[in-house]
Chains A and B, each alone.
Chain A
Amino acid sequence: MENKNLKSENPKKKSNNTSDITKKRARKDTRTWYKLDLSAIVYPTLQRRDFSSVYRLSVVLKEPVKPDILQQAVDLALVRFPTYKTAIRKGLFWRYLEPNNRPGPFVQKDIRNFCMPMPFKAGSRYLLRVYYYDRRISLEAHHCLGDGTGGMCVLQTITAVYLRLLGHSVSNGYFVLDVNQPPDPEELEDAYMRYANAKVCPPRPGEKTYRVRGTREPFYTFNVIDGIMSVQEVASVAKNYHATITEYLNSVLLYALLKKQQTEWHLKLRPVKIAMPVNLRRFFPSKTLRNFITMVFPSIDPRLGEYSFEEIVKQVHNYMRYYINEKFLRGDITTNANTQRNPFIRVVPLFIKDFVVRQFYTRVQDKNSSAGLTNMGALKVPEDMKQYIDRFDIYMGQPFSSRTNCAIISFEDTLTVNFASSIMETDVERYFFRKLVEDGIHVTIESNRESLQESLSH
């Protein structure tokens, strides 16, 4: 008799419990919100009708992607990343992220003009898109959610869950996080604030640099040229110049930009600078999945005289050695953090902050570099996942002004250089890849650019 009673009562209790839990979770969700981290504050301010700071990470698998299973994997994996399952809202003084429980994000068929603007209030308000095409899974995220490292964790975890759903056994490790564990509070922190404690704030560099001019493509076009090469080949060539791969590729980009400036009509020469994000996790231990990068600007000033390629490599090599260390980077993030900590700045209403930041960015920060270059470095995945993956790609997204952005990533022996631009001219890319070919590196080119035949047929 007692047993029967228990049986009849249990389901009721259970359903009560689950409804309680969902209610509690919903209540907790309304209480949870996340401040934007230090560099995420800037990205939403730059939002225009035709521009969002969106980056894309993709993984090319060995077999075609199954969309329904990918959707399941996205749903399962995103629970682990609460700061990525959010929507952005405006407060009176700052923007903030709040948990987003709307249905989605849904996987979509890939498109040609990716990294499209991401209106904050459109659709289900997710700042995240997942695409599939043939063997490729792509994740697009707004930069205010996190940097490339955080995004890579999301992408690799989704990929691992997807592979597990297909019946393969994939272990956790490196960028693949355990989806069954609750998120670590350290993953959600604004790590800048923890380390911005230098006693002095070095001034920000501000100098007008050479700007790549070009014919703007119509709204909304996104041109991509990928160069695929062997890591070993590039490493051995870089070694001949006594440089690392990053230093060497940075030098090649500087060389390409210098050549472009020389061949163009100009009244006077300007310095050529590259904006390169540095992953601060290498210097300041943090597990954060949000932004934790700072910019360094390797540059060459052609007004001082003509630089040979060897001299460029030497200059970049020395610059990197001098600037990229824990002390200088700490000073740099302190400068940025102090602006945000200033009580007078904090009480200014958001729309005035937006206006000032946008003006500062378009007039100073954007003109401070001729191109962007990021290197995610050699990616590591768990040993049992390697066999399912062909390569990774990373795209810095649409440039704020007419120029090209270059992103580098390597996996096993495949190094991919992805150029993204919204101008028609391909001079920088051409000089870049021709220099690599001249140095004896075999480059395979892929592109989504419209060929002449195609554009004529439209």
Chain B
Amino acid sequence: MSYCVNCGVKLEPSLTECPLCNTPVINPKELYSKKKISPYSREKGQVDVVKRRDLAILTSIVLIATSLSCLLLNLFVFSGSLWSLFIIGACLLLFVLIFPAVIYTKLPIYISLLFDGIAVGFYLYMITFNTSSKEWFTGLALPIVALATILVEIFALLLRSFPVSFITTALYFFAEAALLCVGVELLIDHYLGLPLHLVWSAVVLTVCAVIVILLITVLSRRRLRDAVRRRLHF
């Protein structure tokens, strides 16, 4: 049993330093004594995980009920066209979007984002199927959805692999927004059979380029970075 030379309190035998002032305990008579059992457990506990099963069941039932009732109405009452496919597709899309957040949270983010992209593509295909117009789907809709999905995946990858702050997030966002706009304009030009020229997306590209250069400068200068963080914290 030792006393803290600094505080004068008696210390419980398992303590190796005074918890009040961090002065190490050295008792010349007990230099090689065995380690004593602490009165507190040394194991760290984990906070329980919340299962959102009720919410999952509720959303699934609402979506399924909506789809089913629309399908039945379409088959037996308002059977002029296949209008229920729009609603069933929308329900399916919502389900895929909600799935990773509510039902199965362990899915890697990249895979759930990919599924989201596929679901959007599928919904657009359903519209094509219903309206029997095919060219715009293959020529325009699908490439734009693919481009957006890839950009979102890259955004997620960047956020996950580098340290996150609101400045870096803004940097990625503006860079990707510029890329998306350029891509969309080029795809439209290609679809309409026009020569590939940047017109409106050039404006977006310039504005985004200025912002991106500004953000990179802020990020590379520590003093600037700290000043921005200090003034814009929320």
Q: Beyond A437-B7, A444-B12, A445-B10, is A430–B43 a contact (Cβ under 8 Å)?
A: no
Q: B40 touches which one: A121, A122, A430, A448 (CB < 8 A)?
A: A448
Residue A240 interfacial (CB < 8 Å): no
> Which residues of A from 130 to 161 have beta carbons under 8 Å from B?
133-134, 136
User: In the complex, A110 Cα to B44 Cα: how many Å?
Assistant: 9
**Shortest beta-carbon distance from A416 to chain B in Å:** 11
Closest to A220 in B: B47
Instruction: Contact check, A121 vs B51: say whether CB atoms are below 8 A apart.
Output: yes
Q: Which of B15-23, B92-100, B162-170, B217-225 contacts A (4 or more CB under 8 A)?
A: B15-23
Q: A113-B44, A445-B11 are in contact. Are A122 and B38 (CB under 8 A)?
A: no
A352 within 8 Å of B by Cβ? no
In the complex, whether A109 has a CB less than 8 A from a CB of chain B is yes
Flag if B42 contacts A447 (CB, 8 Å).
Answer: no
> For B21, B47, B49, B52, which residue has the most chain A Cβ atoms within 10 angstroms?
B47
Q: Quick one: closest A residue to B11, CB to CB?
A: A445
On chain A, the number of residues with a Cβ less than 8 Å from chain B's Cβ atoms is 38
Taking the nearest CB of chain A, how far is it from the CB of B25, in angstroms?
9
B7 in contact with A111 (CB, 8 Å):
no
- Give the Cβ gap from A436 to chain B, nearest Cβ, in Å: 8
**A109, A122, A434, A444: the one within 8 Å of B41 (CB):** A109
| Among B8, B22, B37, B39, residue most surrounded by chain A Cβ atoms (within 10 Å) | B39
Minimal beta-carbon separation of B226 from chain A (angstroms):
19
Q: List the B side residues contacting A430 at CB < 8 Å.
A: 7, 20-21
In the assembled complex, which residues on chain A have CB atoms less than 8 Å from the CB atom of B24?
452
Is A453's beta carbon under 8 Å from chain B? yes
Task: List B contacts of A113 (CB < 8 A).
Answer: 44-45
- B50 near A134: Cβ-Cβ < 8 Å: no
Residues of A contacting B19 in the complex (Cβ-Cβ under 8 angstroms):
225, 426, 429, 445, 447, 449
A452 contacts B22, C-beta separation under 8 Å: yes
Q: Contact mask B1-34 → A, CB, 8 Å, 1/0?
A: 0001001111110011111111010000000000
> Once the chains are docked, how many angstroms separate the CA of A385 from the CA of B42?
29
B135 at the interface (CB under 8 A from A): no
Closest to A393 in B: B39
Q: A134–B7 contact, CB under 8 A? A: no
Q: Are A434 and B47 also in contact (CB < 8 A) when A133-B40, A133-B41, A134-B37 are?
A: no
Given A116-B47, A434-B8, A225–B20 Cβ distance below 8 Å?
yes
Nearest Cβ on chain A to B3's Cβ, whole angstroms: 10
Shortest Cβ distance from A108 into chain B, in angstroms? 8
Q: Interface residues of B toward A: which range?
A: 20 to 34
**For residues 295 through 343 of chain A, which have their beta carbon under 8 Å from a beta carbon of chain B?**
none
Q: Distance (Å) between the CB of A87 and the closest chain B CB?
A: 13
**Alpha-carbon distance A449/B40, docked complex (angstroms):** 10
Query: Nearest residue in B to A447 (C-beta to C-beta)?
Result: B19
Contact B43–A109 (Cβ < 8 Å): yes
A426-B19, A447-B15 known; A123+B40 contact, CB < 8 A? no
Q: Name the CB-closest residue of B to A446.
A: B12
What is B's interface to A at a CB cutoff of 8 Å? 4, 7-12, 15-22, 24, 37-45, 47-52
A451-B40 contact, Cβ under 8 Å, with A437-B9, A444-B11: no
Determine the residue in chain B with the shortest Cβ distance to A114.
B45
Which chain A residues border B50 with CB–CB below 8 Å? 119, 121-122
In whole angstroms, how far apart are the Cα atoms of A114 and B81 in the complex?
62
Q: How far is the CB of B153 from chain A (nearest CB, A)?
A: 27
Q: Which of A117, A220, A446 contacts B39 (CB 8 A)?
A: A446
For residue A367, CB closer than 8 A to chain B, the reply is no
10 pairs, CB–CB < 8 Å, chain A vs chain B: A111-B41, A118-B48, A121-B50, A121-B51, A122-B50, A426-B20, A434-B7, A444-B10, A446-B40, A447-B19
CA A225 – CA B15 in complex, angstroms?
A: 12
Q: Is A82 an interface residue (CB 8 A)?
A: no
Q: Kindly provide the distance from the CB of A48 to the nearest chain B CB, expressed in whole angstroms.
A: 11
Does A134 contact B9, Cβ atoms closer than 8 Å? no
- Say yes or no: is A350 at the interface (Cβ < 8 Å to chain B): no
9 additional A-B pairs beyond A434-B9, A443-B9, beta carbons within 8 Å, are A112-B43, A134-B37, A136-B39, A430-B20, A445-B19, A447-B40, A451-B16, A451-B22, A452-B24
Q: A430-B21, A443-B10, A448-B40 are in contact. Are A119 and B15 (CB under 8 A)?
A: no
Inter-chain contacts of B47 with A (CB < 8 A):
116-117, 119, 122, 220
Whether the Cβ atoms of A112 and B16 lie closer than 8 Å is: no
How far is B8's CA from A443's CA once the two chains are assembled, in angstroms? 8
Question: Which listed residue, B12, B22, B40, B51, touches A445 by the CB 8 Å rule?
Answer: B12
- CB of B22 to closest CB in A, whole Å: 6
CB distance from B35 to the nearest CB of A (A): 12
- On chain A, the residues within 8 Å of B52 by CB distance are 121
Interface residues of A in 85-128 (CB under 8 A from B): 109-114, 116-119, 121-123
